[in-house]
Structure 1
Amino acid sequence: MNLVRSELLKIRTTNTWWIFGLGTLVTLALAFLVNAVNASFSLSGEQDLDSVPAEQAEQLRAAASDVYQAANLFTSGQYFGLLFVMMLGILVVTNEFYHQTATTTFLTTPHRSVVVAAKLVTAALIGALFWLLTTALTIPATFIYFAAKGWETHFGEWDITRAILLNLLAYVLWGIFGVGFGVLIRSQIGATITAVVLYLVGTTAANLVFFLLQEWLGWDWIGKLAVIIPSTASTLMISGTELPGSPPQWAGAVVLITYAVVTGAVGTLITRRRDIA
């Protein structure tokens, strides 16, 4: 715990954490606005599904439910929130090399595995803190919005509770991803830019590849393989109801947990063997 406290101190003594926190709040507000407009359209019953393909129409009908839209609003801001948490996880590692404190850290605590474990725990705590902050804002906002519309939030029902808790798991695991990424790329700027590009551009490109393969080959199961993309798995986890043609929520959780375990193990092994000086 002393190591964890020292890692938290390193984060608190830089300006980055509150910049990312402010960015999270701004993107949260924008995401909630977009989700609120989408909920209003979906729950108004004004959608014309006659000209929509059968499978897509089924998904739209499933999404046009109080539970799905409430879960979507309760977990607003996840997409960019996870990005900021990952970048903070990267900084937990790369700050050591940027501020040239890595040698001192490992001389003070020669057991490198313990140091890495402390960094992983710190990143997980940061993720949990960001989840707590965003959820504390989205829950009352959703209640107010749904009350104004006269809709039922279904808060307390298992589908909603599960989505909120799985959102917590996603925030924690993406913090761990950030640590693993920072271990692979020591450069703070290099690691941050690479992670942002992969997250924003790579996700879209990978989903497009799966979609084109599905359309070309005509195999529906190929589209479901998109769940192996971490950000897609995170989005799947917070859906209030299972959408037709989509993998179950637990599949997204399994994918993220697997990534986290592999990332943590690889990061520990690399740090133990790599020359720090």
Structure 2
Amino acid sequence: MNLVRSEFLKIRTTNAWWLFGLGAFVMLALTFLVNAVGAHFSLNEPTPEGMTPQDTATFEATRDVVYQAANLYTSGQFFGLLFVLLLGIVVITSEFQHQTVTTTFLTTPHRTAVILAKLVAAALAGAGFWLVTTALNVPATIIFLNTQDLSSQLGEWAVIRSILLNLLAYVLWGILGVGFGVLIRSQIGATVTAVALYLLGTAAGAIFFTLFATWLDADWIQDLQYGLPSIASGLMVSGTNLPGQPVFWVGAVILVAWAAITGTIGTLITRTRDVS
């Protein structure tokens, strides 16, 4: 616990946490606005004519108030997870950036304990981001649903499940950040690479698997995109299972696996790598 407290002290005494928090807040506001506008039209507009049966089924599923409520309550997840990832990266790479890692390991020669403390600190920081974003999303969503003459939907288990799984996503992405930072020691290199992979890699991966599935006429190939941690995170907080989409728990299993793998690899590498 002393190690965990020291990691929080390092986070609090740098500008990274509030800069990432400010960025997450701005993106949360923009995302909620977009989701609210989309929810308004989805809940009130009729199903367009001329759609294929599959597209019609998907559109009807998105019109479900539970689906829209879950989406609104978890607004800002995509960019929020990115900032948590970056914070997790900074937790480990700042040691190498400012050459304090040698002092850290001399003070606490048990490297596994140090890395575990960093993983715990990053996970708790992710939980803090979730707490703040959820505290903003809940009243905003309730107000929006009231303007649509709808209840808060907080009595629906699917909605509560989405909010709780969103907490799990934020926690796991903090762990992912630490693991990623161990692989790339350079703080600038790690953050730039992480942003590029998160934003461009997510879009490129979704497009690649969709085009490949269409080319080979194999729907299962398109489902491979949910193996990407960013897409799996969105799947796990969906309030309603859309047609042709894996069930929500698949996304949770995939994200837990990614966090376990990166956390384990990061710990093993740090135990054996020279830091001089």
TM range, normalised to the smaller chain? over 0.9
Q: Distance in 2 between matches of 1:79 and 1:248?
A: 19
The amino acid across from 1:78 in the alignment is Q
1:26 aligns with 2:26: yes
Give deviations 1:155-202, integer Å, cap 9, x for gaps. Answer: 132100110011000000000000001000000000000000000001
Report the counterpart of residue 212 of structure 2 in structure 1: 213
Preserved CA contact (<8 Å) 2:165 2:237: yes
1:81-112 superposed Cα distances (whole Å, 9 cap, x missing partner):
00000000000000101121100000000010
Q: Paired residue for 2:42?
A: 42
What are the within-5 Å matches in structure 2 for residues 1-277 of structure 1?
Answer: 1-48=1-48, 50-277=49-276
1:156 and 1:190 mapped to 2: Cα distance?
45
Q: Distance in 1 between matches of 2:97 and 2:221?
A: 42
Structure 1: gaps spanning 5 or more residues: none
Q: AA paired with 2:219? A: D
CA–CA distance in structure 2, aligned partners of residues 153 and 213 of structure 1: 40
Q: CA deviation at 1:225?
A: 1.5
**TM superposition shift of 1:153:** 2.6
Structure 2 gap segments, 5+ residues each:
none
Between the aligned partners of 1:156 and 1:170, the Cα distance in structure 2 is: 22
Please give the alpha-carbon distance, in whole angstroms, between the structure 2 residues aligned to 1:226 and 1:132: 28
SS at match of 2:230: helix
Aligned-pair CA distance for 1:152: 2.5
Query: 1:33-61 deviations in whole A, cap 9, x for unaligned?
Result: 0000000010003331x212211211111
**Identity across matched positions, percent:** 62
Partner amino acid for 1:230? P
RMSD in angstroms over aligned alpha carbons?
A: 0.7
Alpha-carbon offset, residue 223 of structure 1: 1.2
TM-score by length of 1: 0.98
Amino acid at match of 2:11: I
Runs of at least 4 residues of structure 1 off by over 3 A? none
Q: 1:67·1:241 contact (CA, 8 Å) conserved in 2?
A: yes
Question: What SS does structure 2 have at the residue aligned with 1:247?
Answer: coil
Conserved? CA contact 2:47–2:60, under 8 Å: no
Say which SS state the counterpart of residue 236 (structure 1) adopts.
helix
Contact 2:84/2:126 (CA < 8 Å) preserved in 1? yes
